[in-house]
Amino acid sequence: MTASRTRPSSSRSTVAEVTWFFAIAVLLCFALSVPMVFRLVSPDLNNLITPILQLTPMLAAIIMWLARRPGTFRETFATTWRGTPKWAGIGIGLIALIAAIQTAIALATGIWPLNPLDQILAATIWILPVFVMQSVFAIGEEFGWRGWLATRAASWGFWPLAFVSGLVWIVWHLPVLAVIGDRPLRDIVIYFAGMLPWAPLLLALRRRSGSVWPAVLTHGAINSVRVYLLQSVPSATDHLLIEVVGWVLTIAAAVWLMRPRRA
């Protein structure tokens, strides 16, 4: 990781800063989602509102940065490109590998059937455009969660920060309930629980690279490459075993990334 020249803050000050950041990000997201949640606009506009909601962690982080000015924007948000190709490649590769293992298990055990080849090929041409689009959308989230937050709360340690930020990330996602339709409570719990393992993986990429960009691009891959492998290749339905496999492998990947490095 590249050394940061941002000013250190006391433990109490850090907790206060992070608490304010969490509160602003969540409240901004909830406030901007009101038209979508309460059906005040056409459902067709949800695809426009969602990318706006994704900007709220970055907006909250910018507000905190302007209020405290702990260092330059580049230092605080870790926007250096150094190491990005290597670590983004590792992150995207891990996303693809985990999803491929999940799909292979589901197909081999008969849990999911394979989609028709022509349908798979038709979806394949959209992987790159969707990846680029989702990566752009992910900037708003990652500049907050794995940019500003990872810098300001670095003293918390990797796993405490990953766990706490992951829980808040789930709360921040609650407006999604308005657009996923009427689903059984069990499926909703699984859906939100599945977000928690991504926090340590994305934070590990940020820690190992010293840059927020590998987390941005890997987040983009979660919403494109992973979706393709899990939903376009097989005809997938919600299945707890396949979800658990993904959770375990994702956490294992974070552990692997954060393993002690040889001198």
Q: What is the mean pLDDT of each run of 10 residues along the chain (263 residues)?
A: 47 90 98 93 90 97 94 97 96 98 98 97 98 98 98 96 98 90 86 95 98 98 98 94 98 96 66
CB atoms within 10 A of CB 77: 24
C-alpha count within 13 angstroms, C-beta hemisphere, residue 97: 11
Give the pLDDT confidence score for residue 2 in this predicted structure.
Answer: 39
- Is pTM, for the whole model, over 0.85? yes
Distance CA 234, CA 242 (A): 12
pLDDT at 9: 54
Quote the pLDDT of residue 1: 40
- Sign of the Cα pseudo-torsion (57, 73, 82, 6, in order): negative
Question: Which residue bears the tokens 């629980």?
Answer: 193
Q: What b/e sequence results for 147-160 when a residue is b if at least 16 CB atoms lie within 10 Å of its CB, and e otherwise?
A: bbbbbbbbebebee
Q: Which are the contacts of 78, defined by CB distance < 8 A and separation ≥ 6?
A: 4, 146, 147, 150, 151, 206, 210, 211, 212
What is the structure's pLDDT at 238? 87
Identify whether the C-beta of residue 8 lies closer than 8 Å to the C-beta of residue 68.
Answer: no
Residues 258, 190: Cα–Cα separation, whole Å: 26
Q: List C-alpha distances in Å: 196 to 39, 133, 165, 245, 255.
A: 28, 23, 9, 14, 14
